[in-house]
């Protein structure tokens, strides 16, 4: 075996250590029947919050279709959420990862984050084709004209309010594609998912399981619904033959315990992200505000009732599996964390509004 026979362009090649076919089957490059030639190397930079990372994953399906033999590297702040079977290399943002990327070569590099450090990195990446946002003259700039629309709607609220494109239409446009309903992807632990499905199946005893996600993170306080409203909805669901369960993270734990006690609805507790995804997968319908849960439920192909107040509803892609509930009068706190009227219009949405939407969605 000579160095000239080593297939450095093989998907299985691992720098400095034996590849899997060599370890498992004692194969060597000269005679290996597992050779998988990499034809296109793509870098995706999407740091962002968990939900933003999840809703970028539909690009994976399209790039794999358009570029056979594609090798995908993804740089993110949220590596645990990504579908590992769909991505060749997942890097968490740190010095070693950035240094490695800066000294690698790609055919296509994409940055969909507007943070300066992400834009600066795209400017430095060695790739002949770049999409998204880069860095020029000490400010963010579009890598191609296709990124201008999304960039401008981020600069000016008035343009954002007039936008009629979904987020997915926008990021596909940035990558010079048209959006064709490619689905979200997510890292699902199938063993945990099966365990939760079995547990809730017994508890629900044949009833439709409705997950009530009561949190939305501290950044957007204007999206919070009152505890009394959640309790009333949980009681109404039980009266109508559903099995509601409260869902949330550590921030919602105390109030979910309280609401479960008052409404007699089930609250399984709060868990790691991996287990939370598996628990969500066991639900039939999800009720949520615009939050990480919205993206998890979408990735899991769940029916969903989405409550929207402060955002442009056109940005959401529900894949014909969901309905949007909004207050009777339009919210004026666009992307706001405090209400200009003093009282959030979330309180104008009633439990009956959600109940009606759940029942209608259940019939589909």
Per-residue pLDDT, averaged over 345-358, amounts to: 86
> Largest alpha-carbon pair distance within the chain?
75
Q: In this structure, are residues 144 and 122 in contact, taking their beta carbons and an 8 Å threshold?
A: no
CATH architecture of 40-174: 3-Layer(aba) Sandwich (3.40)
Judge whether residue 345 has pLDDT over 70. Answer: no
Q: How confident is the model at residue 29 (pLDDT cuts 50, 70, 90)?
A: confident
Q: How confident is the model at residue 7 (pLDDT cuts 50, 70, 90)?
A: confident
Least confident of 30-34, 190-194, 296-300: 30-34
Residues 320, 317: Cα–Cα separation, whole Å: 8
Six-digit token string for 347: 């309180």
Per-residue pLDDT, averaged over 190-196, amounts to: 97
- List pLDDT tens digits, range 30-83: 888 888 888 999 999 999 888 889 999 999 999 999 999 999 999 999 898 999
- When the pLDDT of each residue in the chain is averaged and rounded to a whole number, the result is 90
Judge whether residue 184 has pLDDT over 60. Answer: yes
Tell me if the domain spanning 190-363 has CATH number 3.40.50.2000: yes
- List pLDDT tens digits, range 310-341: 677 888 899 999 999 887 766 555 555 666 66
Going 156 to 159 to 160 to 165, the CA torsion angle's sign is negative
Judge whether residue 344 has pLDDT over 70. Answer: no
Determine how many CB atoms are found less than 10 A away from the CB of residue 240: 15
Closest CA to 44 of 64, 84, 82, 72: 72
Six-digit token string for 304: 């969903």
Per-residue pLDDT, averaged over 137-156, amounts to: 92
What percent of the chain clears pLDDT 70, i.e. is strictly above it? 93
| Secondary structure letter of residue 175 according to DSSP | T
Q: What is the pTM of this model?
A: 0.89
Residues 34, 8: Cα–Cα separation, whole Å: 13
pLDDT at 128: 98
Closest CA to 230 of 258, 203, 200: 258
Please tell me which residue, 193 or 289, carries the higher pLDDT value.
Answer: 193
Judge whether residue 215 has pLDDT over 80. Answer: yes
Q: Where in the chain is the domain with CATH 3.40.50.2000?
A: 40-174, 190-363
């Amino acid at each position: 075996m000579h160095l000239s026979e080593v297939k450095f362009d093989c998907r299985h090649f691992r720098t400095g250590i034996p590849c899997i076919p060599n370890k498992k089957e004692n194969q060597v490059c000269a005679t290996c029947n597992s050779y998988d030639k990499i034809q296109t190397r793509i870098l995706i930079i999407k740091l962002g919050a968990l939900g933003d990372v999840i809703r970028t994953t539909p690009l994976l399906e399209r790039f794999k279709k358009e570029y056979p033999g594609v090798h995908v590297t993804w740089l993110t702040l949220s590596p645990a959420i990504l579908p590992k079977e769909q991505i060749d290399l997942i890097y968490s943002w740190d010095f070693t990862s950035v240094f490695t990327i800066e000294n690698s070569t790609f055919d296509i590099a994409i940055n969909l984050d507007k943070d300066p450090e992400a834009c600066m990195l795209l400017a430095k990446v060695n790739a002949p084709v770049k999409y998204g946002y880069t860095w020029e003259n000490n400010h963010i700039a579009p890598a191609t004209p296709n990124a201008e629309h999304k960039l401008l709607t981020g600069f000016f609220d008035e343009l954002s309010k007039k936008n009629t494109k979904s987020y997915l239409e926008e990021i596909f446009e940035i990558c010079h594609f048209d959006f064709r309903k490619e689905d979200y992807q997510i890292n699902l632990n199938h063993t945990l998912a099966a365990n939760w499905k079995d547990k809730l199946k017994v508890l629900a005893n044949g009833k439709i399981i409705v997950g009530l996600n009561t949190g939305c993170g501290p950044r957007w306080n204007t999206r919070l619904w009152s505890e009394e409203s959640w309790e009333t909805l949980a009681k109404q669901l039980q009266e109508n033959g559903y099995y509601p369960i409260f869902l949330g993270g550590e921030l919602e734990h105390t109030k979910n315990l309280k609401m479960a006690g008052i409404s007699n609805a089930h609250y399984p507790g709060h868990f790691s992200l991996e287990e939370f995804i598996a628990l969500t997968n066991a639900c039939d319908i999800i009720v949520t505000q615009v939050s990480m849960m919205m993206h998890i439920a979408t990735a899991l192909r769940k029916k969903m009732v989405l409550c929207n107040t402060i955002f442009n509803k056109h940005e959401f892609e529900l894949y014909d599996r969901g309905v949007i509930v909004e207050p009777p009068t339009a919210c004026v706190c666009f992307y706001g964390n405090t209400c200009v009227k003093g009282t959030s219009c979330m309180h104008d949405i009633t439990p009956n509004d959600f109940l009606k939407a759940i029942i209608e969605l259940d019939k589909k």
